[in-house]
Amino acid sequence: MYDLIIKQGKLINGAIIDIVINDGRIAAVGPLAATGLSAIRYIDLHGHYFVSAGWIDAHTHCYPQSPLYFDEPDLIGAASGVTTVVDAGSAGEDDIDHFYSVARRMKTHVYAFLNIARTGMRNQNELADLTQIDTSRLQDAVRRHAGFVIGLKARMSKSVVGENGLQPLIQAKALHSKLRQKTNRLPLMVHIGNPPPNLEEIADLLTQGDIITHCFNGKPNRILDGKGNLKPAIQRALSRGVVLDVGHGTESFSFTVAEQAIKFGAYPHMISSDIYQKNRVGGPVYSLANVMTKFLTLGVPPEQILNCVTANPADLLHLPRKGRLERGLDGDITIFELKNQRIELFDAEGQVRIGTQQFIPIAAIIAGTHIVVVERSTADELSL
């Protein structure tokens, strides 16, 4: 007797599969995989609704006690069709113990990038004082919360670093190098905003596996030059294996920049929301699904978009049991529609695009046991 069988789910390529989950893991997957098997619970999608590995939002702000950017992990996670959320530096080592205790109570899987400033994002300028970077305490926090802390976060914009320029990033890279000598599974996520420091200086310090987040922002530190070409420093960084993360947020996504960058083949490796309560409720983010839908309007194929919220972040953030529908991996599933209907979409600059198709999450299934409904009417139809 298995815990859950999902029958006749549709993959994004149109194939119809069954998924069998037991003890939190995928026990079998494929066409007719559930034939002859019994389970405590069944969901029959009748070949009409899509399934994928559970969606991963690689850049959120979900530490509820953070004073500036905060939200509830289960609201931006499971209740929005997202099975895994990664907080991008809301907490430093001062608060990481408490954040860990909060995260463990959630249905949604929660991970964290540890802010290199010990205070985290209690203030907008956490790196204006270099004494906030305590290398020994950072290392201890990473060690203490191995498996929860999956990377480091440095916010490199004028409002954050003050007069310190590149120094916080230089210190972060030195620490990062030490930590990666012990484990190769610790990416560094770097926020780019208004200069100084300049993007070119930041990009030239980054190495394979480092992440540039807010990669399609429309600020002066954008990845395009004045003629609309991809900056040489970004081209060099991409050739070294530096990762592009969307990190939409309130002020950090431009349709124009994204369109132009994609023309040069600079597709995002990860599509993330940078969601927190204010931009979830008042926009322009609303949800990860809404951000994914914006890339449909940019002509990115649905399968590529799904990879940017499943397999790609699982690989790049070193979450080895997530991101794919394969036997032995975590039983995290997102059920969704790809619906043909008109939608008005806004970027962070107020630009509007009209979409004709959108991602609509129906339910998030976490470890095969927690089934969280997003779209009530469809869920009722499926007896969820």
Annotated binding-site ranges: 59, 61, 153, 191, 214, 274
- Name the phi and psi angles at 173, rounded to 5: -65, -35
What residue type is 24 in one-letter code?
G
Rounded Cα distance, 292 and 306, in Å: 8
Cis peptide leading into residue 197 (ω within 30°) = yes
Say how many C-beta atoms besides its own lie within 10 A of residue 199's C-beta. Answer: 23
Q: Side-chain half-sphere of 180: how many Cα atoms within 13 Å?
A: 18
- 174 alpha carbon, distance to own chain's centre: 25
Residues annotated within the binding site for Zn(2+) are: 59, 61, 153, 191, 214, 274
